[in-house]
Structure 1
């Protein structure tokens, strides 16, 4: 009897290999019911059914199943991505119009008028935009030219070249003659050599500013350029050397065995080194703002008695705070954030500056004797790295005058990026918190403040020439536009946004391109507006293509790429230049041979590709008629305010009469609805 009980108890015991943890209760749905309809089905122990293999083979089986499931998921994702890639509409890719082969690798490019200036080893070369023929060159250096700028002065061109040693030189190009004006920061003592970091020339070429860096110090030198004297001096040259000695004409393109076949060799350029031009006039030196320190004044009365003027009060510049107050605030700060301040402090890099030459406007009140011509810059606007303030310095001063700002614009956050439109009428200040402030300098009032989406911070700002969408096409208005601007903002996450502002209306933002997640090769590396095409921008992607985007439709119209694949360095920094007056752009080709064998002694074929928008069939309609006539412009809703008052009233009355019929129909609909509702309420009322 006892043995029978023991056997029954043993049969009723739970399995030894029971699963630990809470039991999963199946959901009461039909899809989870067992599909085994066999009558002889016997519920087995789930552990015995799944774990029939002994250890460690059960664990190996589970790992293999898990690996198989994950591999299958990856295969499905890749197959879905390939299917989506096949279904994507790829833009039409156009090849370059001309390929110019060079012996040296081009470092930089600049375009002005009909000339292209290419920085190379030992100097720079000059080419024609139309036929890509070399006009001349200047090869007097032992180092490479890393940056080059070109400014249109009318019939002349002002050229500035920066070499690897940080020395910047000014050149004057007039009627295929090249003149060296001055090396701005070249000194005889190498230990006192300064480095030029950035430069800017004012609209019209009347002023120039150079950001220089010395031993632990950064400052800005501002010069006035005597362009009227240069024009007289090149037309009637005065030789500083022997008058009987003729100006020697240099053959700059010598024929040798390494010259490519398609490179012009019978071109002669004239470098007139014996002609000395007037030197730029040094105006002022601007240093970064000093850190705020305590004052020696004992009372506010003493402050107001000895202060010279109230310029800068309330803007964060002129502080009169005692040392004891600063020490008290510093002790409170360190006590509150001690755990964050215990780490090692990194040495801060030298402060950098961004500066713009501003035209006369109502933003800054200038003295009557300091006012100049309307088209000549009169103010230099500058902001330093990490600074909340935008400073304004008058250009109508001498070297003896103290370089103090005439006005200061404080911002809520440090200014990260700023840009001035080509016409000099609009200014955009982008702060580090992603907020943009849009200014209409000609009218003297802000167009508005707009914030980028969360997580987006400004990397660069590019102004677009104002355009209108008329009958589905982008067109430039024939009449001048006032208080209306459009700009494209490239963010640090490589997303692209369009910012628009008009008069007193609040600015708006629109996403043009999201950050690519699946297609990393389409990451945006650079953006450039196309002045010849309304509403078009060039987007240079990581894959080496330049895509032309219509910002009005947020669509890619077409793409441009070299004829053979390029091996790009990650991250790729494209070397390109877009012509302001011609519908074309130039792009340097980066080839595998150039990257793999650039340190070898043999010469390498480097290329610059010229792409023309006129040769693209998809752009013929855009480039053929891109100006909106005055008759169509007056009918456009955006420009009706330019009509006389009588015309505007007449159009307003006509629109009101046209809307009367629509209003009458809407009133009849509302009246019918009210009658039905009243009848329904009457039926529901108790009798």
Structure 2
């Protein structure tokens, strides 16, 4: 008997069994005997295995499963080896320096010359150029969890937030540190509010703080008197005498009890013109001018019935028309609203019978804008260029983006001056440097790009199906000149670039210009097999044109050129602690210098367990791009003059339109001349034909 066994992937497996003896067929097909189909029958080989008794039947299935799975792994490894043959392994650079801590840092921030790192009961200040500690403040009641810093000329504004949610303002000038105010600290702990978010305008003119407490949330905006601070710091004795005469109230904060001058460390000068060692001390005797409260903003009220009896009464009593048509203002009678709710509950009763979860508090995202084109400015209000004048806010689950004027006094009404409605709830927003561009990301994956300076809508682009925005970052506009990315040394308008990290770990580059709508292309596809290679964070590098840092879940860090869509190099830091997935890296990229800092924990004793906190050390690793051969030249030659470029590539939309019209006129003139020449040619040919007929 004989059988013909098919592939294991084919189900069911059949065997053809013949009845009777087998014969060797002759070479000629015509001499082959004609078999009768009745003499054959089919038998399923799996039935033979299924008829085995236990536990042999289970063992057989496990062996088959292991064989199939092993074969899949072998094929996957072979395909991966084929791909790796074409890979170019990037250069891997170690950190330039390391700063060790006894505890995980509570946030990091950088200014022109300093690094500010939150820590136990305060924060520390380091020299950005030689990474040496120059000052430590440990006078808070709780550890610092986050910290911000903004350059104010040669000085800096420091804003730490501790575990109790108390936010403080510090002013750093040369060798002196001043406590300005603890914004939300109160004597009664039960009335203590918590600072959730902080936003400082880029020039340090305004500050906004998002608070929550006692089941309520609100946003407070302050104007920062930085010009007064500069005068008070330069002339401290004059400021002290003036404050004594006017009997100003002193700061009511626990930090005001600090009277001694603390000198925690020495380090080389970080100032641009200083050559001596720098010693920073806390000045508690001089109280700088307090921030000026501007307004308090609360979430939009839910839709409710109105007491107005007729439309005429509505128009008679409504003072302004802002928000009408945006879905924000509704004038519905209580009876109609009650009927609507009854219909809703009757329709969806079976879905609403379960337990109701407490609705979370609404969160706000807010940005400072520097353009007056977003709203009408009163004639008596003087606005200076480069100073924030508008605050943009959107709330959780809201379709609307609200715009508030900052040219207000505490007596003015806290009403928005403008509102931008969107078709879907806004889940994220981002602004570019000095708020030239705005990106609104909606819940349905739609990205809206605005040019705020010109009041111009670049357009709307939809992310691929199933992709939802996780983070978005604007890139400074760059060009590819002779194979190298460069920044133009002159302002460029109507050009925008941003990288979008989606929730599926795919990375996209969105570009738009004034002459064409936004387009999107994939920089990194979503991982399918190796999920540990998924991207968890992205950060642009201002010092390197067209470059972004990519942080992956497996603690790998790479630098990508978005123009070529290739990895330039990678950075390694000894991080051996097994952190929870996905990895949430703590890092900060300097906007002024070619460097970035990264927090990591590593073990000095490799023989013991790396999960033991006693065996690990928290550190901040410093990566200086100028220390690496591949990036040294890029950071030094990152700009290009306008003369070295093709001028037509950098023209604004107005100039391009003007050139286009001029070329069109020239083409029209050429066409007119051609038409005249053609007409003369026709006349001449007709004349010749007549002369020939006469002959």
Between stretches 453-462 and 56-65, larger displacement belongs to 56-65
User: Are the structure 2 counterparts of residues 529 and 652 from structure 1 closer, same or farther at C-alpha, using a change threshold of 3 Å?
Assistant: farther
The alpha carbon displacement at 1:621 in A equals: 4.0
The DSSP-based 3-state class of the residue aligned with 1:200 is: strand
User: Are the structure 2 counterparts of residues 621 and 377 from structure 1 closer, same or farther at C-alpha, using a change threshold of 3 Å?
Assistant: same
CA distance in 2, matches of 1:48, 1:445: 72
The answer on whether the counterparts of 1:633 and 1:639 sit within 8 Å (CA) in structure 2 is no
The alpha carbon displacement at 1:45 in A equals: 6.9
2:590 matched to 1:591?
no
Between stretches 231-240 and 199-208, larger displacement belongs to 231-240
Deviations 1:633-668 (A, max 9, x none): 234535486869998889999999xxxxxxxxxxxx
CA distance in 2, matches of 1:423, 1:365: 20
The DSSP-based 3-state class of the residue aligned with 2:511 is: strand
The alpha carbon displacement at 1:232 in A equals: 1.0
2:619 matched to 1:622?
no
Match of 1:610 in 2: 622
User: Are the structure 2 counterparts of residues 50 and 302 from structure 1 closer, same or farther at C-alpha, using a change threshold of 3 Å?
Assistant: closer
Deviations 1:136-157 (A, max 9, x none): 1211123211000000111110
The answer on whether the counterparts of 2:601 and 2:617 sit within 8 Å (CA) in structure 1 is no
Match of 2:537 in 1: 526
User: Are the structure 2 counterparts of residues 595 and 304 from structure 1 closer, same or farther at C-alpha, using a change threshold of 3 Å?
Assistant: farther
So what's the TM-score if we normalise by structure 1? Answer: 0.82
The alpha carbon displacement at 1:423 in A equals: 2.2
The alpha carbon displacement at 1:464 in A equals: 0.4
CA distance in 2, matches of 1:522, 1:318: 47
2:48 matched to 1:51?
yes
Deviations 1:133-191 (A, max 9, x none): 11112111232110000001111100000000100000000002110000000001001
The DSSP-based 3-state class of the residue aligned with 2:153 is: coil
Matches within 5 A, 1:138-287: 138-238=137-237, 248-253=260-265, 268-287=279-298
CA distance in 2, matches of 1:342, 1:595: 50
CA distance in 2, matches of 1:570, 1:49: 43
User: Are the structure 2 counterparts of residues 312 and 79 from structure 1 closer, same or farther at C-alpha, using a change threshold of 3 Å?
Assistant: closer
Match of 2:436 in 1: 425
The answer on whether the counterparts of 1:576 and 1:587 sit within 8 Å (CA) in structure 2 is yes
Aligned equivalent of 1:337, options 332, 335, 348: 348
The alpha carbon displacement at 1:474 in A equals: 1.1
Between stretches 359-368 and 335-344, larger displacement belongs to 335-344
2:108 matched to 1:109?
yes
Match of 2:321 in 1: 310
Match of 1:364 in 2: 375
CA distance in 2, matches of 1:334, 1:417: 31
The answer on whether the counterparts of 1:207 and 1:377 sit within 8 Å (CA) in structure 2 is yes
The DSSP-based 3-state class of the residue aligned with 1:630 is: coil
CA distance in 2, matches of 1:559, 1:515: 20
The runs of at least 4 consecutive aligned structure 1 residues that moved more than 4 Å come to: 23-27, 36-45, 47-50, 238-243, 563-566, 592-595, 640-656
The answer on whether the counterparts of 1:634 and 1:643 sit within 8 Å (CA) in structure 2 is no
Match of 1:479 in 2: 490
The answer on whether the counterparts of 1:218 and 1:287 sit within 8 Å (CA) in structure 2 is yes
CA distance in 2, matches of 1:330, 1:236: 65
Matches within 5 A, 1:509-658: 509-563=520-574, 565-591=576-602, 596-598=611-613, 605-635=617-647, 637-639=649-651
Matches within 5 A, 1:406-417: 406-417=417-428
The alpha carbon displacement at 1:362 in A equals: 1.6
2:339 matched to 1:323?
no
Root-mean-square deviation (CA, aligned residues, Å) is: 3.3
CA distance in 2, matches of 1:274, 1:281: 21
User: Are the structure 2 counterparts of residues 528 and 75 from structure 1 closer, same or farther at C-alpha, using a change threshold of 3 Å?
Assistant: closer
Match of 1:129 in 2: 128
Aligned equivalent of 2:70, options 72, 85, 89: 72
Give ranges in structure 2 of 5+ residues lacking alignment: 1-10, 16-21, 27-34, 245-257, 267-276, 669-695
